[in-house]
Chain A
Amino acid sequence: MLAYIVRRLLYAVPILIGVNLLTFLLFFVVNTPDDMARMQLGMKRVSEEAITNWKQERGYDKPVIYNAEAEGVERFTETIFFQHSVRLFVFDFGRSDSGRDIGHDIAERMWPSLAIALPTFVIGILVNITFALLMVFFRATYVDLWGVVLCVILMSISGLFYIIGGQYLVGKVLHLVPISGYDDGINAIKFVILPVLIGVISGIGSGTRWYRTIFLEESGKDYVRTARAKGLSELQVLFRHVLRNALIPILTGAVVVLPLLFMGSLIMESFFGIPGLGSYTIDAINGQDFAIVRAMVFLGSVLYILGLLLTDISYTLVDPRIRLQ
């Protein structure tokens, strides 16, 4: 398995270079270094000299991807692309174009994102699986029918509605939790309850339906009939046998998103005033801060690759027949 993991990690290198190149090209198609300088220096009374100085200081005065005036390998290394990309591969994100240390900011902002995303993810999975199993248990009854109807309704409602509605009902009308805000440590709980609740409820519709489909497919298999024939109760059949055998498709969807959880949720964090990573990339795009954009896209790619790798590894844990070679 170790050889497999090493091989997969090596495959990741060209993927990351490709992603980085693509991000770079897309960013510089839309923005020029002059635009970036103007955005950072402000729009009032900015001189051409200040723009030139700003570009020089940050190395944006070099050619974008190919330096025709340089010699040998420097034709590629004395470029904005090389100078701003190579350090990423040792996870040195450098400084943002506004002067902040990106690694420091990411380390600081990932915790509030995790404080929301992790409980939402865990509770969401548990709730969805439980509801899905109950619907399978009560299949062909009114519970199943109305459960599916409810799921479709929940799926049809916009995520923004859950947030605004939740804030209005729980925070404004019932006065049970703060409408928005954040605090450290144990004090974070009162701020986290509502976003987590909303995150879980808004995911119930799609999650439950997805798991219900998996469990229904599984519950028609021979081993389930055998279990029932042995005299096991329906609950035992579902929770002990069906659930266990349905873990592979569940893991496919769940483990891959696990590392991405700390990237946060843009809308949720924005409405609840959570100081997480959710808006970090969007703010950087709006502020034309290329240093942050490339760092966050790079990090997102690394985490996605890591998620896929973890998914593969988790298969071997739930299904002993699977061997990674």
Chain B
Amino acid sequence: MAGPSWHYVRPIERLKATSIIVIAKLRKLRGVLPIAWLLALSACSEVVLNNPYPREEWRANVLYSSFAERPKHLDPARSYSSNEYAFIGQIYEPPLQYHYLKRPYELIPLTASRMPRAEFYDAHDRPLAPDADPERIAYTLYTIEIRPGIRYQPHPAFARDAQGRLLYHRLTPEELAHIDSLADFAETGTRELVAADYVHQIKRLAHPALHSPILGLMSEYIVGLGELARRLREAPRGEFLDLTRYPLEGARVLDRYRYQIKVRGRYPQLLYWLAMPFFAPMPPEVERFYAQPGMQERNLSLDWYPVGTGAYMLTENNPNRRMVLVRNPNYRGMPYPAEGEPGDAERGLLADAGKTMPFIDKVVYNLEKETIPYWNKFLQGYYDTSGISSESFDQAVQIGSQGEITLTPEMRDKGIRLLTTVATSIFYLGFNMKDPVVGGLSERARKLRQALSIAIDFEEFISIFANGRGIAAQGPIPPGIFGHRDDFNPYVYEQRDGQRRRKSLDEARRLLAEAGYANGMDQRTGKPLTLYLDITASGPDDKARLNWYRKQFQKLNIQLVIRNTLYNRFQEKMINGTAQIFIWGWNADYPDPENFLFLLYGPNGKADHRGENAANYANPEFDRLFEQMKNMDNGPERQAIIDRMVDIVRRDAPWVWGFHPKRFGLYHAWYMNAKPNLMAHNTLQYRRIDPGLRFEQRQQWNRPVWWPLGLFLGLLVLGTLPAIYTYWRKEHRPPARQEGV
């Protein structure tokens, strides 16, 4: 059979011929190739392939951050968690704020023109002196004066037509048909912030559909708030609830820029609440705008699109992907503080003193559910700051022989800085004081708890499970809060060799024996003592943690049974007071000792009063002192009472005091004015970045590496060649001759 002649050319000869042709063609192009190569290189010099952001943002003044979980609420009447405050803290402006640099934390005016002063009155409306006996104070008036000229962010709710009528307050279904987000409204408007907006927001705390978490607490203090809540609940359902028609005695407008809050008795902690978004202004027309039919169906609500006077406004809210804050064009601008605490100037924190804030134009929060991609992107320069997860701990920091924590050389080479701070939080192991074995104020139960407090070595816990990121707590009040003392708990620690050391296990065993459980045996029943830890645990990390707890109890020959339940059942046990030992925590709402000591106040017990005293601890002496201390001004007298209270709870040991976590933050060299502030919510405007330096670093750190890809392709081709040869042989082998044919 005749065929094309190339069938008879050997493959190697064909390859040779092809190579000659290609080389000849390349020779013709030799003058052009270097130029093309240079052009390609120059074109590529700015090209970084792994930059996840749009090219126009590469050199822009944009800060990149992330969120792992979508915020549940952005309505200031409902929002009550730190991940939500990260957003609304930049948008809403309550009358007060915390000084960014000063420590201890100091309240200063934000939209208020000066700090509100408390005026005390007795039951006959007669004014009282500031140092009046608290028993005589029937109510307190706080007059808040706001600065004129503060304007809201541009928003369609404020847009007006030529006649001055609100444009988008009578939207028809046809008009709404083309609306999918706020950006779809052609017009926006603004208006000046007035005192009535603050009063309106205080009324919103009583709105039945908003379920404000602080309604219960504030009803105890703000005159008439509880009554307003009752009236609003009786209002017809399904209709827009116009709060402007409902007066509130405890919050009233005095004039355009002044309003007054009336609280029962004396409640100095109100000032701290006035620095939280719960007391931020809310324009009534914005509420009406969002209440129109058809808005909810488009997910257009106040809970999703906040409206404020702050430095930033939320322009994109896609919690499945990203949330974007953009500089509010109507923001008045605030000067960067000119003073801080000692050392701030040396750390460069006063370099921007007096400059107008905010410094950053736009902040992009991307959804990053996993820590590993986030960490890698931080190292590539695509995130400006990072925490340190357990996976990246060893790569980020190293612990010296004296326990000092420093950055690894890799981090230092990148110019990354480490800032640490002790959180105003506490994690503890609590005893249910209603439990017949571990609870109660009897000497037997107290000694059992004290013995356990010695045996459970939280220093070891911090070292193993928190990579050393925490300090063992000596009482309920964390460092940085008035009332905290740098002493130690004498019931758990002792001074040995000039150092604070945990008491020996022999001491714990002695206490245990005195409690009637010598060597872990109940002397009354003759049976081994078994205790129960109620917990919700599911992950592999939890297993190690639970084993650790078992071992701690085992030190005293006490058997610990882990009652691992679902979260809901655990909550039920806590509410019903049927748990025995549990792990709990608290994060400060405001920097006042009352916010921690109330966790042990008897009338605040969880089982009986649905309060936050999870241990159901009730000591009449402690309760009496708490009532005395809670409304006092900070000073030596208050400190003395706190010292007595702390001593009582240290002795009673309703909690094994656990630890205060230490927060580690990593910051790139281009990130300025970084100073952890655990109380302030509007910190973003203080931050500054150097986009030029960031761009250069990113380019340097992220050059594409091609050669492994070439190598892989080469190996693939080499690996395929024998297969092609096999195929060629199979297709062209002559038919096998059979023997004898």
Spell out A's residues near B (CB within 8 Å).
Answer: 30-32, 35, 38, 40-42, 44-50, 53-54, 57, 95, 98-101, 104-105, 108-109, 112, 134, 137-138, 141-143, 164, 167-168, 171-183, 187, 190-191, 233-234, 270-273, 275-276, 279, 283, 288
Q: Would you call A182 and B72 a contact (CB within 8 A)?
A: no
> Known interface pairs A99-B303, A108-B320. Does A271 touch B80 (Cβ–Cβ under 8 Å)?
no
Q: Hey, what's the 0/1 contact readout for B35-64 against A, CB within 8 Å counting as 1?
A: 000000000000011111010000000000
Majority DSSP secondary structure for residues of B touching A: loop
Name the contact of A173 in the complex, choosing from B216, B705, B727 (C-beta under 8 A). B705
Of all chain A residues, the one with the shortest Cβ separation from B81 is A42
Q: Would you call A178 and B52 a contact (CB within 8 A)?
A: yes
> Which of B50, B303, B705, B706: most chain A Cβ within 10 A?
B50
Q: What's the least CB distance linking A109 to chain B, in Å?
A: 6
> Which of A45, A98, A108, A112: most chain B Cβ within 10 A?
A45
Q: What's the least CB distance linking B48 to chain A, in Å?
A: 7
Q: Which of B256-264, B293-301, B506-514 contacts A (4 or more CB under 8 A)?
A: B293-301
Which residues of A are found within 8 Å of B48, using beta-carbon distances?
A: 175
Q: CA of A177 to CA of B52 in the docked complex: distance in angstroms?
A: 8
B592 within 8 A of A: no
Q: Would you call A175 and B705 a contact (CB within 8 A)?
A: yes
Name the contact of A45 in the complex, choosing from B70, B217, B369, B726 (C-beta under 8 A). B217
Of all chain B residues, the one with the shortest Cβ separation from A96 is B299
> Known interface pairs A172-B380, A180-B377. Does A45 touch B213 (Cβ–Cβ under 8 Å)?
yes
> Which of A31, A49, A234: most chain B Cβ within 10 A?
A49
> Known interface pairs A141-B726, A179-B380. Does A174 touch B709 (Cβ–Cβ under 8 Å)?
yes
Which residues of B are found within 8 Å of A142, using beta-carbon distances?
A: 722
Q: Would you call A234 and B730 a contact (CB within 8 A)?
A: yes
B117 within 8 A of A: no
Q: Hey, what's the 0/1 contact readout for B694-738 against A, CB within 8 Å counting as 1?
A: 000000001111101100000000000011001100110000000
Name the contact of B50 in the complex, choosing from A57, A137, A176 (C-beta under 8 A). A176
Which residues of A are found within 8 Å of B51, using beta-carbon distances?
A: 178
B420 within 8 A of A: no
> Known interface pairs A48-B610, A53-B208, A175-B48. Does A270 touch B369 (Cβ–Cβ under 8 Å)?
yes
B566 within 8 A of A: yes
Q: Would you call A167 and B704 a contact (CB within 8 A)?
A: no
> Which of A46, A134, A172: most chain B Cβ within 10 A?
A172
Which residues of A are found within 8 Å of B373, using beta-carbon distances?
A: 167, 179-180, 271-273
Enumerate B480-508 residues with CB–CB distance to A below 8 Å: none
Q: CA of A45 to CA of B217 in the docked complex: distance in angstroms?
A: 8
> Known interface pairs A47-B216, A275-B320. Does A177 touch B299 (Cβ–Cβ under 8 Å)?
no
Of all chain A residues, the one with the shortest Cβ separation from B66 is A273
Q: What's the least CB distance linking B206 to chain A, in Å?
A: 12
> Known interface pairs A35-B568, A53-B208. Does A176 touch B49 (Cβ–Cβ under 8 Å)?
yes
Q: Would you call A101 and B377 a contact (CB within 8 A)?
A: no
> Known interface pairs A32-B568, A271-B373. Does A179 touch B50 (Cβ–Cβ under 8 Å)?
yes
> Known interface pairs A190-B49, A233-B731. Does A174 touch B704 (Cβ–Cβ under 8 Å)?
yes
- The 4 A-B pairs at the shortest CB distance, nearest first, are namely A275-B320, A275-B321, A178-B52, A181-B52
Of all chain B residues, the one with the shortest Cβ separation from A143 is B723
Which residues of B are found within 8 Å of A273, using beta-carbon distances?
A: 321, 366-369, 373
Enumerate B58-100 residues with CB–CB distance to A below 8 Å: 70, 72, 80-81
Q: What's the least CB distance linking A227 to chain B, in Å?
A: 15
Which residues of A are found within 8 Å of B702, using beta-carbon distances?
A: 175
**14 further interface pairs, Cβ-Cβ under 8 Å (given A108-B320, A175-B380):** A42-B80, A46-B213, A101-B299, A138-B727, A141-B723, A172-B376, A177-B49, A179-B373, A179-B376, A180-B368, A180-B373, A187-B54, A191-B52, A233-B731
Name the contact of A182 in the complex, choosing from B217, B321, B612, B708 (C-beta under 8 A). B321
Name the contact of A171 in the complex, choosing from B50, B80, B297, B298 (C-beta under 8 A). B50
